Every structure is written in C-alpha cells, then in structure tokens.
Structure 1
C-alpha cells in the first residue's frame, strides 16, 4: 500500500514541477509583462483550493483511492489545456487550464494524509515524511527536463515553454492510473474499520465534535497557521525566482537547476524532519521552519541575479523551511482530529493553504514589478516569523 503511494508521488512530483519551472515564464512570454508573471502560480494554487475541497470530500465519503485518482486525472486534463493554450497563443485558455492544472498540486499534498491514516500516533510524522520524500525524484527530474522537453515541443511545432507540460500531463495521468488500479485496500477505510471497536461511531464523533475542547480547536488552528504562512512565503519567493533569473539573462537550464534543488529541499529532508517531529515535537520543528525561511529570504535578497550558486542556496533553504512547516503542521493537525472527521478537516485546511499560495503567487509579481525581487525575498523571510509567537504560546500552554 505504501509502495503504491510512493510510486504515485514520484510520478506526480514530475507533474507539479513543470508549472513551477516554466509557468511564470510562459505567462510573461505571452503577456509581455513581469507584473502578471505571478498570475500562473496564483491560478493553479487557486485551482488547488477548489480541488482540495473536492478530493477531501470524495476521500471522506469513499476513501483515499478515488479521491486521489480523480485529483491527478484532473491535473492531467489541465496540462493538456496549457499545451493547447501555448499552441494557440491564448492567454484566456492558459489561465483556465492552469486553474484546472492546480488539481495535481492539491492532490500531491493530500496524499501525505494517506500515509498517516494507518500510522501509530508516535510515528505519524515519519509516515507523512515517507510519502512526501517520494515526490523528490519526480520533482528533481521534472525541472531538469525543461530544456529537453522544450526541444521536443519545438520539434512538433509547439512553443518550447509548453514542453514541460507534456511531461506533466503524462505524469499526472500515470499517477491516477496507478492509484485507481493498485491502491487496495484503501488506507482511510481500513483505518476506520480497524478503529471501529475502540473509536466512536460517526454519530458519537459528531456529538463529541460539538463539545470539542478549546485545546483541540487551538491545535487545529495552530497547525493550519504554520502551513499557511510557510506556503505563502515559499510560493511567493519561488514563483518569481525563474523570472528574476530570466531577466538577468539566465536560460531555462539554469533556472531549472535552481528549481530542481529547491524541490529536492522541499521533499528530500522529509524522513529526517519526520524523526525530528516524533522525537522533539512539532512545535520545535515549526519554529525551525520560521527561522529557516527567514534565512532563505535574506540569502535571496542579497544574492546577485546572475549567481546561480547563491540563488540555489537561497532556494534550498526556502524548500527546507517549507518542509519543516508542512511536516510539523500536518502532524499537529492530524493528531488533533479523530478519524471520523479527519478527511473533512484536512481538506478544509488544505483549502486555506492553497488560498495562501494563490495570494503569494499573485502578489509576488506585483511586488517585484514595483519594488524588486530583493524586497520580495526579504519581506517573505520576515513574514515567516509570524508563526513563532503562536508556537511559543502553544508551548507555554502545554507546560501549564
């Protein structure tokens, strides 16, 4: 079961990396404006917000397998739409297709919950990290194929920037097929069946939810805050880095390398992060997320646009900070809610994460256009510090 999830994550990692690498460049090329270059990221993260609702509701009603398969299939359709928009030079179709393409991003994140469904409470963070780390292979491979897939697109008379979306469409479709045909038994349904003798029935869970404690609500909100802030900062800085490099004369190979290292840092440290959360608690790792994102913002702000090594270091720190925030925030959230309402609550939080990503992507282009990339990077790093007071309050409350 875990092997099927890992396989689907490898495939989907290649799919989501396409939009990260060339989405902003494609919009900039079609619109001729840097100020709107953040719009693709905003659109596919906004699309992921809607997809998070749909995927979580399907998962709550019928299990993880149909929910995840439908999400990846929708992402594949969006990829085809982007290719068609590039071929027709249609910005309207591009924006609609990117919105649909966002379903793949939402589904990739939702899959981490499937890894935690059957894990014991003391090992949930490690289970989450196992699924997340599988995204690394596809996520690193995808951006580095930007140039070869661009050449392939050019050979079939498509714009070069449409090339990575050829890979995305195939990768998402393959992930959907793997999950639909191989994820048996369903992890969420199996977890509910195993917990039935000892956990509450859905009716009892609903009654308990109505009388839920302030501590439970606070933990849900805390986990959501950690993930929302880290997503906002990461998407904002990441979206404009390829544009920043492109404006300095760097090609897609250079920006693809930087984004590949960034995606690797987003997912590859997950096993270590999971162990740190299980050993030291999610609050400490959440605090590390804020400090790491601050360091990423500082490095990105001072790095020259032509310096691939320094920008790569900044983006690696950005990915690492996001990883700390996602794993610790997911652990806080998952531990706070019962199985009966888990999928619905997780979906609601992922909607907030997607909206924050859309906000970061949309605002990033405007900030760079008005004030420059260094201001965006530094502002993002400072914004990440907002999670520290909430974590400190939760830690003090826990000691009391």
Structure 2
C-alpha cells in the first residue's frame, strides 16, 4: 500500500487539526446536552411506564459506551476524517429520528434516536485523542486542553438551542430542538472535512515498532492507572451529577435553583480547560489528575456537610473542576501509553471502559438515591477516589518521574 505523504510538517498539521477539532467539539459536544436537557421531559410525555421516563438519557450513555469500539475500528481502518464525517451523519440521523418519534408519539422511536445520539457522541469524545496524533510533549497536552475548550462552547450552545427551538414546530413541543440537534451535526460536517490527514496508522506500524496485542497493553500498570483515573473521574462525576438535581429538590430547593446549580457545574467542567494544558506542562499530567481527584473528594465532603443550597452549589462546582483536571490528565496519560499504530485500539478500549462505567453510573444513580439517600451517594465517592489517588500520587512522586 502506498503511503500518502503529509500535507504539511507534523507540528503544523497538529496545530491546524486541534483548532478544527475545537470548533467541531463546540457543535458535536452540544449533542449530549440537548438529550440530557429534554430526554426526561419527552420521556414523561411518551413513556407508557413512569419508571422509564429517564430511559432516553440512559440510552444516550449506553450508546456512547457501545459505540466506542466500532468508532475506533472505523477510524483505524479508514482514518480519522472519514470516521468523523460518518459520525456527523449518524448525528444528523439521530436528531431526525428523535424528532420523528416525538411527532409520532412513539417512545420506542424516540429512544432509538437518543441511543444513536450516543453513537455520535462516541466519535465526538475521541476528538481529544485526535488532537494529539501529530503532536508530542507539551504541545500534545495543550492540544487536548484546547479541544476541551470547545466543550465549554457546547455547554452553552446545547441549552440555548433547547430554549430557542423547543416550540419551533407547532403542536409538537421539543421536536424542533432535536431537528436543530441534527442541524448542528450537519454544520460540523464541512468543518471536519478540513481535517488534515495525520500519520497513517497502518503504515506507521510497519515502519516503526511492532504493534503489541491489546491484552499486553491492557496489563501494563501505566495504562491501567490511566484508565482507572479516567473511569473514576468521569464515573463519579456522572454518578453525583445525575442524582444532584433530584436531591436538591428533595431537600426543599426549587427547580430553578437545581438548574442553576447544574449550569455552574457544567461551566466548572470546561472553564478550567484554558489553563489545564499549561498546568500539565508545568507540573505533570499525573499531578494535575491527582489534584482533580482530590477536588472530587472535596466535593463529596462539602455535600456531606449540609443540605443548604450553598452546599449543593459549591459541591457541584468542585465536582466540575475536579472532573476537568482528572479527565484531561487521564487522557494525556493514555496518549503516552501507545505508539501511533496502536492508538485506535488503545483509545477505543479506554473509552469503552470509561463510558461503560458512565452508563452504569447513570442507570444506578437515581435508584440508589431513592433507596439509600444523598449521603450514601457521596460516601461512595470517598473510597473510590482514595483507591486511585494513592497509586497516582505514588507515580507522580517517583524520583524518576519526568513531566
């Protein structure tokens, strides 16, 4: 097979691609907030069983988990750009199917649309890895954080899209928002078409080091620690965030106060991305990830200290910042654990484990809150943080450690 030459030198390609992916993240990242904001409300209208009203949101997370490995295969076989363009097509189809489900009054069709939205998100979530393909060292860490800044824009675009378009189609509330979700995916298509080709994954494998079996990589302590950091950071964030609005209302606070708390939480998730890359370059990715886990533990401690609205809001802000440091740090750690030829399967396995955990957390959080209470949710956070924080701090403190 002939190897297509680079369009430009690798550093220039890396910088160009990271900015393309940042803009694409702003559009594609808004996919999930639309479903999260409206999935329960539409489920309440269409579901034949009250216990299933949150199923559309849970299916978003399930689709994200199930889509990671197929997405990794497509990108490994056909390249990043082809995979991401396919992802935007899935995003367009998912929004239209969800809208059709609302128009027809079909809960099953609507759930199919939200599940497909999860498959689209599995491509969007890998943008952060794609930004490192032609980057190395400090630039790699900055590129990851740069793409995550697009998530901050997505956190604003998604909810505003819901407000502007929820009544756009007369007689079918919320259908217009899902049509707009499809439009956002369509807008991402020409942007991702500008993505430049990075080093061909298969050619690198022949020219460089031999490609290791996935099991060998999975048993590497360094990779296991990176996965565990991502699983705990994202899993605990989802676990607590899903339950927090219900807990706030259950402890006497208004729905508006609960919504404002979630808004501050989302801003705290993505806002620090402006400095996270610099912090990783200066202090090391493991240290930044460890600080993130400490902040997640601190959010649980604040939540356990009382039930005033300040306790909830401060806890959610700390949870968001902790997620940012922990998850971006874990992403940078994973990027150091593979060769270019191995990146597809290594990144796919990581995302499958991380977002599989997120799906389980989404399904279990509400029922555990109902059966055991808000305090139990937060007590679970502390030992989970400690389990990963100890080896993470040990690795960051090793004398041989070199950022």
TM-score range, shorter chain: 0.7 to 0.9
* Cα distance between partner residues in 2 of 1:33 and 1:242: 21
What is the correspondence of 1:293-304 to structure 2 with a 5 Å cutoff? 293-300=296-303, 304=307
The reply to whether residue 392 of structure 1 matches residue 393 of structure 2 is yes
Q: Which of 102, 114, 129 is the matching residue for 2:145?
A: 129
Note if contact 2:286-2:329 (Cα within 8 Å) is conserved in structure 1. yes
User: Does residue 166 in structure 1 map to residue 175 in structure 2?
Assistant: no
Contact 2:229–2:327 (CA under 8 A) maintained in structure 1: yes
After superposition, the CA RMSD in angstroms is 3.1
**Counterpart for residue 271 of structure 1:** 274
1:47-86 mapped onto 2 (5 Å cutoff)? 47-86=63-102
Match of residue 182, structure 1, among 165, 169, 194: 194
* Long gaps (5+) in structure 1: none
Tell me how far 1:31 sits from its aligned partner: 4.1
2:61 is aligned to 45
Q: 1:49 to 1:291 in 2, by over 3 A?
A: same
Deviation of 1:170 after TM superposition, in Å, equals 1.8
Q: Quick check: 1:285–1:328 contact (8 Å CA) kept in 2? A: yes
Aligned counterpart, 2:5:
none
Bigger relative CO (Cα 8 Å, ≥ 6 apart): 1
- Paired residue for 1:206? 210
Q: 1:38-94: CA deviations, max 9, x gaps?
A: 533431122112221122112212221111221232133222222233333333223
1:108-156: CA deviations, max 9, x gaps?
A: 2100111111212233111110111112112123224433333435xx2
Higher deviation after alignment, 349-358 or 277-286: 277-286
How far did 1:169 drift?
2.1
Structure-2-length-normalised TM-score:
0.84
CA distance in 2 between partners of 1:226 and 1:269 (Å): 18
Q: Where does residue 11 of structure 2 map in the other structure?
A: none
CA distance in 2, matches of 1:377, 1:37: 24
| Aligned CA distance change for structure 1 residues 82 and 379 (closer, same or farther; 3 Å) | farther
Q: 1:370 to 1:43 in 2, by over 3 A?
A: same
Asked if the contact 1:24/1:240 (under 8 Å) is kept, the reply is no
Q: Structure 1 stretch 51-60 or stretch 80-89: which is displaced more?
A: 80-89
Range that drifts further, 74-83 or 295-304: 295-304
Q: Distance in 2 between matches of 1:15 and 1:214?
A: 32
Query: C-alpha separation between the residues in 2 aligned to 1:216 and 1:123?
Result: 28
User: Number of residue pairs matched?
Assistant: 384
1:157 — aligned with what? Answer: 171
State how 1:1-400 maps to structure 2 within 5 Å.
1=16, 2-31=18-47, 36=52, 38-153=54-169, 156-160=170-174, 162=175, 164-179=177-192, 181-183=193-195, 185-189=196-200, 201-202=205-206, 205-206=209-210, 209=212, 217-244=220-247, 250-251=254-255, 255-300=258-303, 304=307, 307=309, 310-395=311-396, 399=400
After superposition, the C-alpha distances for 1:155-213 in whole angstroms (9 at most, x for unaligned) are x21134x554333222122213421x322x22354xx69xx8xxx64375336x26998
Distance 1:103 1:214 in 2: 25
Q: State the 1:399 CA deviation.
A: 4.5
Query: Which structure has greater helix proportion?
Result: 1
Residue 216 (structure 1) shift: 8.4
- Between the aligned partners of 1:88 and 1:378, the Cα distance in structure 2 is 43
CA distances 1:277-322 after superposition (whole Å, capped 9, x unpaired) = 12211221121121111222334455648x3x65443322222111
Q: Which runs of 5+ in 2 are unaligned?
A: 1-15
